[in-house]
Amino acid sequence: SLHCASSDCDSIKVFIRVRPLTHGTGLTTDGDQNLCLTVTSPNTIRLLSKPEPRTFTYDHVADMDTSQDSVFNIVAKNIVESCMNGYNGTIFAYGQTGSGKTFTMLGPSELDNFTDEMRGVIPRSFEYLFFLINREVEKSAKSKNFLCKCSFIEIYNEQIYDLLDTASASLFLRENIKKGVFVEGAVEKFVSSAAEAYQVLSTGWRNRRVASTSMNRESSRSHAVFTMTLESKETKNEVVNIRTSQLNLVDLAGSERQKDTHTEGSRLKEASSINRSLMCLGQVIMALVDVSNGKNRHICYRDSKLTFLLRDSLGGNAKTYIIANVHPGSKCFGETLSTLHFAQRAKLIKNKAVINEDTQGNVR
Amino acid sequence: MASFSSNEWKAVCAKFTNAQQLSDVESRTDPENDPFRSKYKARELLTEIYCSLKNFEAGDGEEHDDGETSEPEPTEEPLDGEKPVDLDAFSRGWSSDSRAGLRAARLAAVEYYLGVNHVDTEELSAGQEHLMNCMKHLGKCRVSSENVSLFIHVRNQLGILWAGRDETEKSQGFLETAESIYQRYMKENGSPPTDMTEYFCSEENQLTHQERTKKFELAYTHTLYYLAQVYQYFGENERAANYCYSTLQRQLQLNQFNPMEWALNAATLSQYYITKGQYMEGRHCLAAATVISGLAGEVPSEAAAQESEAERDRREQLKQKRSEIARCWIKYCLNLLRDAKKLLEDNIGELDTDRQDELRRARRREEEEEGRKQALLFGSEDTFDSIASVEEKVSYLFPLDFTEARAIFLVGQNYVNQAKEHFQMDGFVTDHIEILQDHSALFRALAFFEEDVERRCKMHKRRVDMLEPICNDLNSQYYLLIRRQLMFELAETYNEMMDLKLTLANRQEDSQSLDNHTIKKFNHLCSASAKYFQMFLDSLCSPEGKIPEHLEEDVLRPALVARFRVARLHSKLISSSPPVQLDNLNKALENYKYVVQYCEAHPEAAAAAETELELSKEMVGLLPLKINRLKARMATNN
């Protein structure tokens, strides 16, 4: 069919990356030589489930020896380019702790060297963005200029914290008719080079909430959202044309921690503790109401902070890539399966019907 | 005999208290990088207790040396939570006041706590093992007031555990067994049962009957709460809703709830009933929500909010949640009006007076029979009357004429104003607009009941006035979808007004001799409608302004309808100038053609706009004739 020949009309794409087996990292999966999956083509993965193996299809599947450079080329290059053209773009990293999220996004830990071949998607995106900016500025003979600012926030237990100002109290999400959803009072740092942007990122990264449990070496318990706002100003014949766009880089909490988002399968909402009321009953009812047979209803339970903040990225007119990292070890079978399921559901995320049913009346 | 000395027992009790304290209280303040520190410590203590119980009391049950345990070891039973086995639990097994029975219950309790501890620390398989051990120990006991609480608790936990592994049937088995154990126990015994914590505390620290009842009932409330989720998972919505209702009702009766949270849950439940068309139930839930939310107290003043962060949060929370409840009320009024409209309209969307009379008669008959009862009742003695008085303020019956419709409209409008106070445009763009959209929809539904066409037109004008400025101000980079909705609604509203003007003009005189003012007005409405349909269509185009070759499913019908309407509007525009007429007709043809050609290229689209397609085909056949005639006339006139 004609449609999606370029597959560009899909607003959300999914990239699966399989990490190599672990050795001596202190993870529970160390020494696990049995694989639970195989990459069968550049867009299919086969999970060795019982009784039948299952095949999953995505926009792209990268096996263990895929280079950082090729991940960047597939996932981020296009998004950075559209940001230059005034579109919003978002890259999500999702997966179990230890599945290689940080490596994919940042590169090996404690990396300061920008030329390292192992550097991840984020430093490469910064480099490419500033490369494009400089090229544009030169090409336009300085009639065009750019302003970049970064903010970095963390969503932990549905509260928002500023990673660039750890002393601040929790922040609110607000909306404005002109600038959409934003975090009120979040610090914004101006940056003029990839190195500066990376500096802001690593400062904030160190402030994130992580935790060790006997099961996982280190698990990030919060969602972190790094936002680069790009404003371009072009003066042509004394007319000033301003365009803004956002690049969001999102590191989701380890998928094993996702109890309270919509990613869970059939997991029950628990009574939080004795003497506390049953917090999530409303969400249960909400699921009942959701099939609305054309009726108009109001749901009191608001979107999670994360989905609200990134509403535009999830099925709007922004370009979005989800990188789902999986560990191939057989011990990780359960988590890998749930990550693959999540990634499939992500493909289906779309905003609800654009026009309310009852306003597309019939001919009289 | 290897029994506990009183000192040894005291030490066990102290350990238990300590473990509880660590697990329930201290664990909340564990550092973020070591979140389970207290839980791990509690686990150690529980393991020690388990060993003590095993060592010291060994022999009590198994070796028949003190002559006390005359009962034989019960046979092992399968433990997968199936019902028939568990109901035997009332007649078989050790009685709980036997030594063996008490010992088994204690071991079971420690296994239970160990199970919960492992689940809490994300070690599910170990947790499962402990919980199943608990079941095994309990399997040897008969259900009685000493252990029934544990019977329920362990099944709740296993229910959660298995649901988390996508084995919801297994989960359902455990939970339904818990439910039937509770019911049978309450029927046959009903005395306030011992809580598991009491197995490890001294005589003087036993709970009161009241405390025991409270804890036991809460455990069962949790069972119902989990069952609600399980049934929802299986798509048994009605059953799930009933369990949600029971959960809420029990919370209220047992006085175990947070008012604001409860109110929000009840308001959400009302939306379920509304979507099912059960307005009596919907209204009852909403009235209860309003009354119970009042128990949360006054909204702190702005001054108080500036003083302390806690007050600021409380103010924000209360204001927001009460506005959410108001919004649920708006939906109630809106759906009631709309459903009434659906019942009353004839095939061209006008009020069917025969139907109206018929419904009036039916209502009278029902009133005479007085067979109506409240389907469900929330409330304790104190709140019951207040809930009833909130209910009285709005009817749950379908309005059958303008007066009745207006009464419901006004209640809805009142809630609109209430909700807008908190959800202001600056700060809550999406919410604010959603409320305005509802307000507009309320006017639209009310207009149906209005017989005076001029006044009906004014109602639509109100809709335009509230939506038009926002549609133009919204940044489409961030609010594309909302803007599309607004464009479409504005287009439809203008279209409706245009139709009404036409009706009015037709009534006054024959349409050939319309006065200039009316024509101007009419053309204005026509163009405004076409303009917003066109804006909608433009919003679907690529950045380079190209129409997409393939329309996404969610915009397919709106896009085809918009095209069709634009065509129709252009053919309706009144002009005395032939070149303008020609231009309008060409535009109309072009849009009709688009609908036909699109459906030819994408056969699957035809179903989305069947009527529009049929009429478009017809027009594509007819319009060229009309255009040619006009061209011919223009040629002869020149």
Mutate to test the interface with B, among A355, A356, A364 (most CBs of B within 10 A): A355
Residue at B179: amino acid letter: E
Place A276 in a pLDDT band, splitting at 50, 70 and 90: very low
Q: For position A32, what pLDDT does the model report?
A: 66
Min distance A68 CA to chain B CA atoms (Å): 30
**pLDDT band at residue B460 using 50, 70 and 90 as cut-offs:** very high
Instruction: Kindly state the tokens that stand for B112.
Output: 């239970």
Q: Give me the mean pLDDT over the B607-635 stretch.
A: 93
DSSP string, B17-83: HHHHHHHHTGGGG--TTSTTHHHHHHHHHHHHHHHHHHHHHTTTSSS--SS---SPPPPP---S--H
Write down the pLDDT at residue A111.
Answer: 55
Q: Which of residues 323-352 of A touch B (CB under 8 A)?
A: 334, 350-352
Q: CA-CA distance, A191 to A323, in Å (whole number)? A: 26
- Nearest C-alpha of chain B: how many angstroms from A213? 7
Average pLDDT, chain B: 89
The chain B residue lying nearest A364, using CA atoms, is B348
Q: How many angstroms separate the CA atoms of A74 and A91, rounded?
A: 12
A172-176 and A319-326 beta bridge pairing: unpaired
Distance from CA of B190 to the nearest CA of A (A): 22
The residues pairing with A47 across neighbouring beta strands, listed in sequence order, are A37, A54
Angle at A169 between CA A164 and CA A172, to 5 degrees: 90
Answer whether A215 touches B (CB < 8 Å): yes
Pick the residue from chain B with its C-alpha nearest to A7.
Answer: B550
Q: What ipTM describes this predicted complex?
A: 0.81
**B259 to chain A, closest Cα gap in Å:** 10
pLDDT band at A260 (very low <50, low <70, confident <90, very high): very low
Q: Which residues of B touch A351 (CB under 8 A)?
A: 481, 554
User: Quick one: which of B215, B199, B204, B203 has its CA closest to B50?
Assistant: B199
The Cα B444–Cα B433 span in angstroms is 16
Contact A177 B474 (CB under 8 A): yes
| Mean pLDDT for the stretch of residues A244-248 | 90
Tell whether the torsion through CA atoms of B102, B104, B110 and B112 is positive or negative.
negative
The percent of residues above 90 in pLDDT, for chain B, comes to 68
pLDDT of B39: 94
CB contact under 8 A, A268 and B324: no
pLDDT at A186: 95
Chain A environment of B348 (Cβ under 8 Å): 364
Using a CB–CB cutoff of 8 Å, tell me whether A262 touches chain B: no
The predicted structure's pLDDT at residue A42: 92
Whether residue A62 contacts residue A70, with contact meaning beta carbons closer than 8 Å, is answered with yes
Residue of chain B minimizing CA distance to A172: B427
- Asked if A300 and B324 come within 8 Å (Cβ–Cβ), the reply is yes
pLDDT tens for each residue of B188-238: 988 999 999 999 987 777 899 999 999 999 999 999 999 999 999 898 999
Tell me the nearest-neighbour CA distance from A225 into chain B, angstroms. Answer: 18
Most confident of A67-76, B182-191, B408-417, B494-503: B408-417
C-alpha to C-alpha distance for A164 and A227, rounded to whole angstroms: 12
Which chain A residues have a beta carbon less than 8 Å from that of B261?
Answer: 277, 279, 282
* Partner residue facing B555 (CB), from A88, A265, A354: A354
Rounded to an integer, the average pLDDT of A265-272 is: 62
Residue-wise pLDDT tens digits, A151-168: 999 988 788 999 999 888
Q: Give the mean model confidence (pLDDT) for residues A142-153.
A: 92
Please indicate if any CB of chain B lies within 8 Å of the CB of A236. Answer: no
Which residues have C-beta within 8 Å of that of residue A229, sequence separation ≥ 6?
A: A148, A149, A150, A151, A188, A244, A245, A246
Output the CA–CA distances (angstroms, integers) from residue A287 to A73, A270, B272, in the order listed: 39, 16, 9
State how far residue A117 is from chain B, nearest Cα, in angstroms.
Answer: 31
Chain A, chain B: beta-carbon pairs less than 8 Å apart: 221
Average pLDDT, chain A: 79
Which of B24, B262, B268 is nearest residue A299 as measured by Cβ atoms?
Answer: B268
With CA atoms as reference, report the closest residue to B413 among B302, B334, B308, B300.
B334
Chain B residues near residue A181 by CB distance under 8 angstroms: 478
Mutant choice from A278, A309, A341, A360 vs B, greatest count of B C-beta within 10 A = A278
Confidence band for B546, pLDDT divided at 50, 70 and 90: confident
A48-91 confidence digits (pLDDT tens): 887 788 999 999 999 998 999 999 999 999 999 989 988 889 99
* A 274-293 residues with CB < 8 A to B: 274-279, 281-282, 284-289, 291-293
Would you call B84 exposed, middle or buried from its count of C-beta atoms within 10 A (0-12, 13-18, 19+)? exposed
Q: Average pLDDT for residues B399-406, to the nearest whole number? A: 97
Chain-chain contact of B331 with A297 (C-beta, under 8 angstroms): yes
Both tokens of residue A159? 């509260």
Q: Do B478 and A269 touch (CB under 8 A)?
A: no
- The residues, any chain, with a CB within 8 Å of residue B268's CB and separated by 6 or more, are A282, A285, A286, A289, A299, A300, A301, B328
Chain B closest CA to A66's CA: distance in Å?
32
B11 vs B618: CA distance, rounded Å: 92
Please identify which residue in the block is written with the tokens 């909010």.
B305
> Which of these, B240, B98, B227, lies nearest to B172 by C-alpha position?
B227
Residue B34 pLDDT exceeds 60: yes
Contact yes or no for A90/A349 (Cβ under 8 A): no
- Considering only CB atoms, which chain B residues are within 8 Å of A298? 271, 324, 327-328, 330-331
A:161-200 residues touching chain B, CB 8 A cutoff: 169, 174-181
What is the per-residue pLDDT across A226-240, written as a single tens digit (0 to 9) for each?
999 999 988 888 888
Contact B188, B90 (CB under 8 A): yes
- A211, two tokens: 């935790």
Calculate how close chain A gets to B266, using CA atoms only, in Å. 8
In the structure, how many helices (H) and strands (E) does chain B have? 23, 0
All residues of chain B having their beta carbon less than 8 Å from the beta carbon of residue A292 are 275
- Whether residues B164 and A267 touch (CB distance < 8 A) is answered with yes
Point out the residue among A175, A300, A351 whose CB comes nearest to the CB of B481.
Answer: A351
CA-based end-to-end distance of chain B: 126
| Cis? peptide before B603, omega within 30° of 0 | no
Task: State how far Cα A117 lies from the chain centre.
Answer: 23
Interface of A with B in 142-161 (CB under 8 A): none
Neighbours of B208 (CB within 10 A): 9
**CB-based contact B441 A287, cutoff 8 Å:** no
Q: Which two tokens stand for residue A340?
A: 């693959």
Residue with tokens 């999400």: A173
Spatial distance between the Cα atoms of A268 and B295, rounded to a whole number of angstroms = 29
Non-local CB neighbours of B85 within 8 Å, separated by 6+ positions: B77, B78
Cα(B224)–Cα(B179) distance, integer angstroms: 8
Q: Going by DSSP bridges, is the β-strand pair A60-62/A12-18 parallel, antiparallel, or unpaired?
A: parallel
The shortest CB-CB distance from B261 to any of A277, A293, A356 is to A277
**∠ at Cα A277 (B193, B270), nearest 5°?**
115
Task: Give the pLDDT of residue A219.
Answer: 56
Contacts of B233 in chain A (CB under 8 A): 266
Whether B264 sits inside 8 A of A300 (CB atoms) is yes
| Nearest 10 degrees: Cα torsion A260, A48, A219, B43 | 80
In chain A, the residue whose alpha carbon lies closest to the alpha carbon of B616 is: A363
Buried b (16+ CB within 10 A) or exposed e, A50-73: eeeeeebebbbbbbeebebeebbe
Give the residue from chain A lying closest to B474, CA to CA: A177
Report the chain B residue with the minimal C-alpha distance to residue A177: B474
The residue among A106, A70, A120 whose CA lies nearest residue A204 is: A106
pLDDT of residue B631: 94
* Residue pLDDT, tens place only, A75-131: 999 999 989 988 889 998 888 877 888 889 888 866 555 668 888 999 999 999 999
Say yes or no for a CB contact (<8 Å) between B121 and A214.
yes
The answer to whether the Cβ–Cβ distance between B122 and A210 falls below 8 Å is no
* Chain B residues within an 8 Å CB radius of A281: 225, 228, 244, 247-248, 265
Interface list for A 102-141 with B (CB within 8 A):
none
CB A200 within 8 A of CB A152: yes
pLDDT in tens, B363-393: 998 888 765 556 667 877 778 889 999 999 9
- What is d(CA B256, CA B267) in angstroms, rounded to the nearest whole number? 18
